[in-house]
Amino acid sequence: MPTEPGRREPAKRSRPNVKDVAARAGVSRATAARALGGYGYSSQEVMERVTEAARELGYEPNRVARTMRSGKSDIIGFVCADISDAFFSSAMRGICDVALDEGSKVIVMNTDDQLSQEQDAARVLLSHEVDGLIITPVSVREHAHIDAVTGAGVPVVSLDRQLSDAGIDSVVADNEAGTANAIHHLIGRGHHRIAYLGSVQPEEPPALRIGKSRASVAGPSRPSLDRVRGYLRALSAAGLPVERELIALVPHDEPGRRTDAVAAMLALGDPPSALFTADSYMTKSAFTLLSERGIAIPGEMSLLGFDDLEWTTLVRPRISVVVQSAYDMGRAAAAQLFAKIAAPESGAGSASVRGQRTVIPTRFLERESVGLVAEPVRGR
Amino acid sequence: MPTEPGRREPAKRSRPNVKDVAARAGVSRATAARALGGYGYSSQEVMERVTEAARELGYEPNRVARTMRSGKSDIIGFVCADISDAFFSSAMRGICDVALDEGSKVIVMNTDDQLSQEQDAARVLLSHEVDGLIITPVSVREHAHIDAVTGAGVPVVSLDRQLSDAGIDSVVADNEAGTANAIHHLIGRGHHRIAYLGSVQPEEPPALRIGKSRASVAGPSRPSLDRVRGYLRALSAAGLPVERELIALVPHDEPGRRTDAVAAMLALGDPPSALFTADSYMTKSAFTLLSERGIAIPGEMSLLGFDDLEWTTLVRPRISVVVQSAYDMGRAAAAQLFAKIAAPESGAGSASVRGQRTVIPTRFLERESVGLVAEPVRGR
DNA sequence: GTGAAAGCGCTAACAA
DNA sequence: TTGTTAGCGCTTTCAC
């Protein structure tokens, strides 16, 4: 379109800048910049001339130079374990959607759950002057590198991991309540022996304490641990005993042991009547093993999982699950982040909300994988 | 760690810069920059002093300023329809992995298959001075905005869509060959009436020409059309007739019509013995409908799909599919992009490879959803 | 081998 | 209302 036959276009020259626009409009650089940027004053006439010149030249402001001056890059960072994971890519979409509305863009970096990669990512993103950071931290204890980011005045929101004790805003699902609710459902259907199968971070093995009247799990708030807590809470609330043998916590980096854990549960002298699988990997392992062994769901074994995946409605029976919306979590985290970015450095004066915790509700989707237990139905 | 009790740290001040490092090391800015950047000359001793000072201060070069000077941002853009889609998020991971090796980062932007969004994305990324762009273009005809990017000297690689005719490098799967191979497999198992169920872009409806001896589909190279071509080619090669009623092309933006298309195929007077579903959505629709109607796979109907998804191995029977590795495609696209970025402006002299086309092979995964047809087995 | 200085494109004081 | 000017942090001639 920029067909300007008379003028010789330098062709190989880069994109036009304010100076070019100013020259064409016959005004100074500052005036052109003001007219274009929409700040300061400029007369109607000059405004039009400049706008026209910019249009003709196909002028587009250089964000890099703008960042240099203003310190605002209109870029945020998203640091997660693996963007190809369905949870993170959905969250990413939520983040992108909010960012688009805010005129911002998102740089993604993967950590593969390695602290060193996370530290590198934080450093790199800081050097690019990102306006903010959304992160799913590998560790909830080791967060010096995250503190360095906030220390540099860059807002951070933690996604799916609780870091609010460290004064960092977090957006998490109501893992404990969602799980408790699901277990409650199982109990309501007559199940007394309910197995819990979940993953845990290898570096932070949970300390499970099972007392006569109370059971608890020590350690920080993390989805994997909070779900165990929800399980314990629901059993306690119903006056059911907590049995150690019904709880399997498999290190996240040893996927091969998931199937073993399910098999061990089935091999128990007094096996459970229902399996609660606390994450999608475990749900898949459990479903696969039950299928292979020809164990009828829910006839011989009930199954209830955390996290919804496409396949849970394609297999027969359809699997009942607790769903968390990764998309909504991403949106919420981004919304919170941009609020902090916009906030005029909430440090001075008002006791600013540091370490705010936003909880996204989960939903229970009842399908067909949970059966009714009538009486103590030992030995079929 | 930076425990420097004696010196008063301005605290609220931003990150240290070359000037600070230079001051601490007792040299000039230029010298410090040289020592840190590893270019130009500097004595052993100065080098050490500067490095030490940088370490103490926790100095990290400001990429924004560096970009401004050098024009290299160490950021590339990835423009796709929807990052939460499994194909794109896997491709994204491949891109990120290569980018990491190259010291680069990736900004993702979603288009939802809207040309206007794609145009905006291209403009925005250009204004951020990205070093290159990987894009899955909405349209293979309308690419003025992409030409604008290459015109600005920024390399572009097209992913999953052929744009090499426009002089833009492309990385695509061997859709035609992969499909032909799958259809060939069906024919080898005795199938003569094979249905093709696929999606097409609503704006670019394909012109299907079915002649006596030859059938073809007009239009550009696109995964959706190339798969149809593979289907036609395999039938022709086997001397089988192409029948219009066995080909269903559903507009991509009308998901509701997918199930209708499958149902229509089943309702045919002389129904097919096998269904080839050319994308994951269609495979899902077909599998769901067959399950609901209690039609046995592969007993009463064989099913073979394009694209592998988790669920295809969890359902019974497991679905045979043609797989394309989105991850590999992403890696290949990124590798090609960085090669072009590194190339010293391949315009001058040598006839540079413009519009290079890289084809990533697909694989056929035989599972249990395809049955053997003995004889003309009409009416069971 | 090192330092002084210019400038990438933009914005924000200040002056006119 | 508009123009002049001074940088943001870095790299890169060019003298010394």
pLDDT in tens, A261-289: 999 999 999 999 999 999 999 999 999 99
The predicted structure's pLDDT at residue B346: 55
Please state whether B26 falls in left (phi above 0), alpha (psi between -120 and 50) or beta. Answer: left
Q: At what angle do helices B44-57 and B29-37 cross, to 10 degrees?
A: 90
pLDDT at residue B119, rounded to an integer? 98
Q: Nearest nucleotide (C1') to the CA of residue B34?
A: D11
Tell me what pLDDT residue B202 has. 81
**Mean pLDDT on B353-364:** 92
Residue A102: per-residue pLDDT: 97
B67 CA to D16 C1' in angstroms comes to 30
Question: How many Å from the CA of A16 to C1' of D1?
Answer: 25
Residues from chain B that touch A107, judged by Cβ atoms under 8 A, are 75, 105-107
As a rounded value in angstroms, the CA-to-C1' distance for A30 and D4 is 9
Burial class (CB in 10 A: 0-12, 13-18, 19+), B117: middle
Question: Quick one: angle between helices B256-266 and B280-292, nearest 10?
Answer: 60
Distance in Å from D14's C1' to A229's CA comes to 69
CA A363, CA A121: separation in Å to the nearest integer?
33
For chain C, which bases have at least one atom within 7 A of a protein Cβ? Answer: 1-5, 7-13
pLDDT of A37: 79
pLDDT value of position B201: 86
Residue with more model confidence, A78 or B208: A78
A62–B287: do the CB atoms touch at under 8 Å? no
Q: Which of residues 157-176 of A touch strand C (CB under 7 A)?
A: none
Q: Burial of A204 by CB count in 10 Å (0-12 exposed, 13-18 middle, 19+ buried)?
A: middle
Closest residue (CA to C1') to nucleotide C13 in the complex: A30
B123 neighbourhood in chain A, CB within 8 Å: 60
Q: Are A60 and B127 inside 8 Å of each other by CB? A: yes
B129 contact to strand D (CB, 7 A limit): no
At B351, the pLDDT band (50, 70, 90 cuts) reads very low
Residue in B84, B123, B124 nearest the CB of A89: B84
Of residues A12 and B19, which shows the higher confidence score?
B19
Q: Note if the pTM is more than 0.75.
A: yes
Q: Which residue is nearest to nucleotide C7 (CA to C1')?
A: B69
Task: Work out the average pLDDT over B77-97.
Answer: 98
Tell me how close the Cα of B207 comes to any Cα of chain A, in angstroms: 31
Distance CA A246, CA A254 (A): 20
Q: Which two tokens stand for residue B51?
A: 């490095």
Q: In this predicted structure, what is the pLDDT of residue A39?
A: 75
CA of A103, C1' of D15: distance in angstroms: 46
A30 touches strand D (CB under 7 A): yes
The Cα–Cα gap between B134 and B111 comes to 13
Query: Is there contact between B18 and strand D, defined as CB under 7 Å from any strand atom?
Result: yes
CA distance B48 to chain A (A): 23
Residue in B90, B108, B147, B290 to test binding to A, most A beta-carbons within 10 Å: B108
The candidate with the shortest Cα–Cα distance to B134, out of B361, B307, B332, B343, is: B332
Task: Count the neighbouring beta carbons within 10 Å of the beta carbon of residue A48.
Answer: 13
CA distance B101 to chain A (A): 12
Phi and psi torsions of B14, nearest 5°: -70, -155
Q: In this complex, which of A110, A123, A314 lies closest to B60 when CB atoms are compared?
A: A123
HEC profile of A18-77: HHHHHHHHCCCHHHHHHHHHCCCCCCHHHHHHHHHHHHHHCCCCCHHHHHHHHCCCCEEE
Task: Give the A:B interface size as CB pairs under 8 Å.
Answer: 137
Q: Is the CB of B39 under 7 A from strand C?
A: no
Instruction: Report which of A366, A2, A356, A42 is spatially closest to residue A186, judged by C-alpha positions.
Output: A366
Q: Report the nearest residue to nucleotide D5, CA vs C1'.
A: A30
The total of other beta-carbon atoms located within 10 Å of residue B84's CB is 20
Looking at the predicted structure, is the pLDDT value of residue B236 above 80? Answer: yes
pLDDT above 60 (res B193): yes
C-alpha B343/C-alpha B155 separation (Å) is 10
Q: How far is A105 from chain B (nearest CA, A)?
A: 7
Nucleotides of D under 7 A from a protein CB: 1-5, 7-13
Tell me what percent of the residues of chain B surpass a pLDDT of 90. 76
Task: State the Cα–Cα distance between residues A73 and B128, nearest whole angstrom.
Answer: 9
Residues of B in contact with A75 (CB under 8 A): 107, 128
Closest residue to D7 (CA to C1') is A69
The alpha-carbon radius of gyration of chain B (Å, integer) is 27
Q: What is the least distance, in Å, from the CA of A194 to any CA of chain B?
A: 24
Residue numbers in chain A where pLDDT is lower than 50: 1-12, 347-351, 377-380
In angstroms, how far is D4 C1' from A28 CA? Answer: 9
> Confidence band (pLDDT; 50, 70, 90) for B242?
very high
Average pLDDT of the residues of chain B = 90
Q: How far apart are CA A311 and CA A319, in angstroms?
A: 9
Distance in Å, residue A53 CA to nucleotide C16 C1': 26
From chain B, pick out residues whose CB is under 8 angstroms from the CB of A54.
Answer: none
* pLDDT (0 to 100) of residue A6: 32
Q: Is the CB of B29 under 7 A from strand C?
A: yes
Q: How far off is chain B from A129, nearest CA to CA, in Å?
A: 7
Per-residue pLDDT tens digits for B130-161: 999 999 999 988 999 999 999 999 999 999 99
Q: Please tell me whether any atom of strand D lies within 7 Å of the Cβ of B185.
A: no
CA-to-C1' span, B358 to C9 (A):
38
